[in-house]
């Protein structure tokens, strides 16, 4: 196999709680992760010239060892002493620095792709063990589907799939640093009512009840981002006023998603978000569920 084409899928957090800040500075989280159809496209090709070459459609992304696709390729190529070169073409669609694990998913796809191309024979578990060295979300991006993520995000349990729905993604034209959000969270001082009830969301998923699930969604990081960036709340309100069953910020933001029970309802909300000029990137997608 001389080349392989891959899709790196984005995620949203249906629930995100931070339990505490550990002494080493890491935060202990409890998150419900959901893969969605929105994806980046990747192509990996073997080349005669040794080394890793990265090309991307976004001029501002690094193409050196700071890109997660580079890091992922290097990790496996070093371990398995692969002497060829590879060229990786990355077409980004997932909003960047947006709380959608775009970079982690690209890295996960490259681990998967190199494993296939070179017949390394690594199991999904073995890939996930290597993936965590690239980032806490990478193992989840390899596993995909609906999952509970605990620890620093790397301890995964499979959950029942998300009920059928349409998801509207809207990213405002602002950048929110993940570091800023966590530094301003003061996780250990949060009041009990500020924590979302992730367990009751899991129960709603077991019951396959989309309405109940949406009514219980919560993201503790909104306590930091919404006061700092009111546009996040404006997008949520616009979605809710235009037929969303639920709407929330994903990850550390600033992307907001809305859940709709029909594509027609979601299209109506797209018009409203566009008309209000609240978002730079807007798209409609659906949950991506893995058959297990
Ligand atoms: P998360 O949801 O895991 O917090 P994110 O959506 O906040 O992820 P990414 O889009 O993954 O953030 O990227 C954050 C930063 O990482 C970017 O500003 C970029 O410089 C760098 N980066 C490295 N590799 C990639 C990649 N393949 N795609 C996007 N960003 C990348």
Q: In a structure prediction context, what are the per-residue pLDDT tens digits for the chain, which is 292 residues long?
A: 899 999 999 999 999 999 998 999 889 999 999 999 999 999 999 998 999 999 999 999 999 999 999 999 999 999 999 998 999 999 999 999 999 999 999 999 999 999 999 999 999 999 999 999 999 999 999 999 999 999 998 899 999 999 999 999 999 999 899 999 999 998 778 888 889 999 999 999 999 999 999 999 999 999 999 999 999 999 999 999 999 999 999 999 999 999 999 999 999 999 999 999 999 999 999 999 988 7
CA pair distance 219, 18, nearest whole angstrom: 9
Q: Does any ligand 1 atom lie closer than 6 A to the CB of residue 40?
A: no
Alpha helices for 102-230 (secondary structure H): 102-117, 124-131, 138-143, 178-183, 198-206, 210-216, 222-228
CA pair distance 197, 204, nearest whole angstrom: 11
> How far does the centroid of ligand 1 lie from the alpha carbon of residue 207, in Å?
34
Phi, then psi, of 71 in degrees rounded to 5: -60, -40
Please name the residue that has the structure tokens 């060829």: 84
> How far does the centroid of ligand 1 lie from the alpha carbon of residue 237, in Å?
27
**Residue 54: left if φ>0, alpha if ψ -120 to 50, beta else—which one?**
beta
HEC secondary structure over 28-92? EEEEEEEEEEEEEEEEEEEECCCEEEEEECCCCCCCCCCCHHHHHHHHHHHHCCCCCEEEEEEEC
CA pair distance 210, 229, nearest whole angstrom: 28
Q: Assess contact for 270 and 225: CB atoms under 8 A.
A: no
Q: Assess contact for 186 and 169: CB atoms under 8 A.
A: no
Q: Assess contact for 176 and 253: CB atoms under 8 A.
A: yes
Q: Assess contact for 133 and 67: CB atoms under 8 A.
A: no
Q: Say what the ipTM of the complex is.
A: 0.94
Nearest CA to ligand 1 atom 12: 97
State pTM to two decimals: 0.95
**Domains of the chain: residue spans and CATH:** 3-158 (3.30.230.10), 166-285 (3.30.70.890)
For the chain, how many residues are written? 292
Q: Does any ligand 1 atom lie closer than 6 A to the CB of residue 178?
A: yes
Bridge partners, 169 (sequence order)? 257, 283
Bridge partners, 30 (sequence order)? 17
Q: Does any ligand 1 atom lie closer than 6 A to the CB of residue 103?
A: yes
pLDDT in tens, 117-159: 999 999 999 999 999 999 999 999 999 999 999 999 889 999 9
> How far does the centroid of ligand 1 lie from the alpha carbon of residue 84, in Å?
27
Strands 246-249 and 166-171 come out as unpaired
Q: For residue 97, what are its two tokens?
A: 């620095």
What does the DSSP 8-state code read for residue 101?
-
């Amino acid at each position: 196999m001389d080349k392989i084409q891959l899709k790196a899928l984005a995620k949203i957090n249906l629930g995100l709680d931070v339990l505490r800040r550990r002494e080493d500075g890491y935060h202990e989280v409890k998150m419900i992760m959901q893969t969605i159809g929105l994806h980046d496209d990747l192509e990996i090709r073997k080349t005669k010239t040794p080394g890793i070459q990265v090309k991307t459609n976004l001029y501002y992304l690094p193409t050196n060892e700071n890109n997660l696709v580079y890091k992922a390729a290097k990790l496996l190529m070093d371990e398995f002493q692969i002497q060829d070169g590879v060229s990786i073409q990355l077409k980004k669609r997932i909003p960047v620095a947006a709380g959608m694990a775009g970079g982690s998913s690209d890295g996960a796809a490259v681990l998967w792709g190199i494993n296939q191309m070179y017949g390394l024979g690594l199991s999904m578990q073995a890939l996930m063990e290597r993936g965590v060295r690239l980032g806490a979300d990478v193992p989840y991006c390899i596993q995909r589907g609906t999952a509970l993520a605990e620890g620093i995000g790397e301890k995964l349990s499979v959950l029942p799939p998300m009920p059928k729905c349409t998801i509207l993604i809207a990213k405002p034209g602002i950048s929110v640093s993940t570091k800023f959000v966590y530094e301003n969270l003061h996780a250990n001082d949060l009041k009990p009512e500020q924590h979302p009830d992730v367990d009751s969301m899991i129960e709603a998923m077991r019951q396959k009840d989309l309405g109940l699930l949406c009514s219980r969604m919560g993201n503790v990081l909104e306590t930091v981002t919404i006061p700092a960036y009111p546009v996040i709340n404006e997008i949520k309100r616009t979605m809710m006023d235009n037929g969303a069953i639920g709407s929330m910020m994903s990850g550390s933001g600033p992307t907001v998603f809305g859940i709709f029970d029909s594509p027609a309802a979601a299209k109506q909300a797209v018009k409203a978000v566009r008309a209000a000029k609240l978002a730079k990137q807007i798209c409609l997608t659906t949950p991506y569920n893995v058959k297990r």
